[in-house]
Structure 1
Amino acid sequence: MTDQTQPTPGSRVERLRRAAGHSRERLAGLAGLSPTTIKFIETGRRSLTLRAAQQLAPHLGVRDLGDLFGPAVTLSLDVRPLHPAVDDVRKALTAWHVRVDGEPNSPEYLRGAVDSAWQTWHTSRQQRTEAGMILPGLLDATQRAARLHEGADRRRSLAMLAQAYHLAQAYLAWHGDRELCWLTVDRGMTAALDADDPLAVAQAIWYAAHLLRAVGRGEEALERLREARELIEPRVADGPIEYAEMLADLHLCMALTRARIGDQGAWSDWGTARDVVHRALPADYVGLRTRVSRPLVDVYAVMCAVDLGDPDEAQRRAHSLDPASIPSTERRGRHYVELARGADLEGAPEATLHLLAKADATSPETVRYSPAARDMLTRLAADAPAAIRWEAVDLASRAGVTL
């Protein structure tokens, strides 16, 4: 009897890759994806989205996406859930102040407001909901101040406006229109350049690199990060401590970017960041906006290992890292998601579900809006062993995952 089972999209990708003579690493580099993503797609641990198929097709000799999905496969459009406050944030981002009058807030006030907003982002369990409430007013106040102030006060206000755009990017990264994310990056970079502040410019590049990496432009992200490093590095010895913090942040971003494109050189950048943090920052130092600190360096090590497809190394790196020491509720939730990804790589559904439940208990919105968490929950709800499937279905339902 003939086997009528249709090949999966993942098996089709693998067959076409082998026929084209590409390794996973080679195909990942050509398509702007990570080798781990290719592996997950081929083994069925990650759905083949329309966007990924479009990136892969030219390098697999495919002109009709039906050759990847097959005649009976429903296409995943990689739709991200919208947060309820996205419309309000969109209006604040696209409200052009043609006429501005009155007294602007002082740069000192704006710095306090921006710092408070970032503190809320890192301490709230519902950080996206609270940021969505704060952002419209924060964007309005910083936009007005940048228009009304002159001279040094205007430049300081512009630096705070850039930070408001960066927070908007962090809020929008997992939901909302991709065009809105690009808008925050462009506006943040413009404000930072107009502020003529090296730290503000480097921070804007750091945020831009995250989006470039997310859309498969990892090499471009690395080029921009190198430019930022060259701007900051000469100022570390004699400048305020924030310059050393920024340098460490840039190297951590470079490490993760390299890991996402399968480059083992990630560990060199990670090691440089660790050296800067241990040498130039106090032992208990915690950066206000990105939470640069000794525990965060260890968090990045786990992330790099997972993205390099090495769950054993991820476990080893995570062994001595107490999640309670991570100085951010949002980052702690994301750390549990990364550990879940490592367990998923090893084919351990019970551990994957346990870690996703820990992430949900830490920061429910991290699980609700994280594409990686949602993808794992979708597969667990469908394919987990019967003994834990009901737990997976329950967690997926609470996270708003459509089953």
Structure 2
Amino acid sequence: MTEPTSTFGRRLRAHRERAGLTRPVLGGLVGRSAEWVKAIEGGRLLPPRLPMLLRLAEVLDISDLADLTGSQPLPVASVTRAGHPDVDRVAAAMKRTNPPAGDPTTAVVLRGLVDQAWTLWHRSSTERGAVAAVLPHLLDDARVSARRLEGTDRRAALVELARVYHLAQLYAADQPYPELVWLAADRAMAAAQDADDPAAIAAAAWYYAHVYRASNQTDAAEQVLVDAAALLDPTAGGEQLARWGQAQLGMALAHSKRGRSGQAWRAWDAADEAANRLGGGYVHPWLMFGPAACAAYGVTVEIDLARPGEAIRRAGRTDYSSLPSRTRRATHLVDAARAHMMRGEDVAVVHLLGRALRESVDTVRHRPHARMAIMELTGRRGTVGEDARELALAIGLDG
């Protein structure tokens, strides 16, 4: 009678050890105790229900629940990630091997077009639909210009091409198409390196590190940021300092994902110091780096370190309205909701997810942590369940 349970427990332990997580860290990340993890791994508790299985799978980077349960295959992404209706059109533009025919766009005009696309991403409440309308043509324009312009104009076009691929990566993220995310990150880095532009390489490293962290390759995430930061001179101030500070922030996130508290906070302190040197109200125009972003990512660091109480306290001191980006505000509000979810504070979770939804429907619809929280809370009784079911309806979450 205990064999199925103990088999599940052995699988869970193997995946936890492969991910380099201790029992307290894994328990904290899914809102349970180290003792609960030990009891599950030892077969003293039955395997959890689907919402908790999905939370475990996301934390452990498991793509198919059968790897945990040993039962029928169930791709995790089919439940936790929603595909955007325009993804095929964007994917076709990304995968095109040769640029189309046509005249190049001047570097100055191209930069203006890319700036406009980034504005759509940050200011729309349905950012994926907004950028999907312009991404295919913008990718074509940028690739034609990077291929056909010469000299400094070509280098400038390559920098803009990298920025377009960053947008493509953000568009594809949190959807069941990881190959598109890797493709965008790799092509952005290639364009930045071809441009021989340290600031562009640093931005590409920031986005490449996201992909590495998502696949639990935290050492690779740290290394790409270390290499990029070495190309910058933070004493120069301005753009160099902002890109250097963002690299430090990325290192903090890599270390926290690995549970390395001291290293995470040292890197975060360096990022925060850089942000404050740029000015209390500073916000990078499209990367959004600045004091407000550092404060919000401090909450993420605490969550990754399985310290939800500290995360909640930091969130309470964070002025999310200082982030001039609907997508960023929504993302960080989802993170604050995660901290409350880890402590079983359902009312706060529903409240914060509702705030996030008012900022960006797309962010809540596509963020796995938001989808899993809503899915779990729809089964609650009373107003929490009612509110969660309204959220589920708003983001098109079935069941």
TM-score by length of 1: 0.85
Match 1:399 to one of 390, 395, 398: 395
Note if 1:344 corresponds to 2:345.
no
Specify which of 245, 249, 255 is matched with residue 246 of structure 2.
Answer: 249
Classify the secondary structure of the residue corresponding to 1:259: helix
Match of 1:329 in 2: 326
- The 5-angstrom pairing of residues 23-172 of structure 1 reads 28-29=19-20, 35=26, 36-37=28-29, 42=37, 44=48, 46-48=52-54, 68-69=68-69, 75-79=74-78, 80-97=81-98, 100-102=101-103, 104-172=104-172
Q: Is the aligned partner of 1:378 residue 2:375?
A: yes
Report the AA paired with residue 381 of structure 1.
Answer: T
Cα distance in 2, alignment partners of residues 51 and 201 from structure 1: 32
Matched, 1:231 2:222: no
Cα RMSD, aligned residues only: 3.0
What residue is the counterpart of 1:388 in the other structure?
384
Offset, 1:224? 1.3
Which among 265, 268, 293 is matched to residue 267 of structure 1? 265
CA contact (8 A) 1:48 1:76 kept: no
Contact 2:159 2:191 in 1 (8 A): yes
* Residues 135-181 of structure 1: CA deviation (Å, up to 9, x unaligned): 11211111111111011111111111011001100111112521111
- What is the CA distance between 1:76 and its match in structure 2? 4.7
CA distances 1:17-42 after superposition (whole Å, capped 9, x unpaired): 3xx8x9x6x554179xx734466695
How far is 1:263 from its partner? Answer: 1.5
For 1:197 and 1:152, the matched residues in 2 are separated by: 11
Provide the C-alpha distance between the structure 2 equivalents of 1:188 and 1:225, rounded to a whole number of angstroms.
14
Deviation at 1:6, TM superposition (A): 7.5
**1:205 match:** 205
Does structure 1 retain, via aligned residues, the 8 Å contact 2:61–2:214?
Answer: no
State the alpha-carbon separation in 1 of the partners of residues 382 and 5 from structure 2.
25
- 1:237 to 1:352, Cα distance in 2 relative to 1, 3 A: same
Read off the aligned partner of 1:167 and give its amino acid letter. Answer: L
Instruction: Quote the Cα distance in structure 1 between the aligned partners of 2:67 and 2:313.
Output: 40
Q: CA deviation at 1:67?
A: 8.4
The answer as to whether partners of 2:138 and 2:164 remain within 8 angstroms in 1 is: yes
Rate the CA distance shift 1:320–1:375 in 2: closer, same or farther, 3 A.
same
Contact 2:30 2:56 in 1 (8 A): no
Say how many residue pairs are matched: 378
- CA distance in structure 2 between the aligned counterparts of 1:325 and 1:55, rounded to whole angstroms: 32
Structure 1 runs not aligned, ≥5 long: 58-64
Deviations 1:300-348 (A, max 9, x none): 1111111111111112212222222222111111111011101101111
Q: Which amino acid aligns with 1:277?
A: A
Could you tell which deviates more after superposition, 173-182 or 263-272? 173-182
1:100 match: secondary structure: coil
Distance 1:286 1:54 in 2: 33
Amino acid at match of 1:127: E
Distance 1:115 1:340 in 2: 31
Mapped to 1, the partners of 2:207 and 2:346 lie a distance apart of: 33
- Aligned residues: percent identity? 36
Structure 1 residue 110 displacement after superposition: 1.1
Partner Cα distance (2:337, 2:61) in 1:
26
State the shift of 1:48 in Å.
4.1
Deviation sequence 1:175-218 (CA, Å, 0-9, x none): 25211111111111111111111111121111111101111111
Report the counterpart of residue 185 of structure 1 in structure 2. Answer: 185
What is the distance in 2 between the residues matched to 1:307 and 1:15?
A: 22
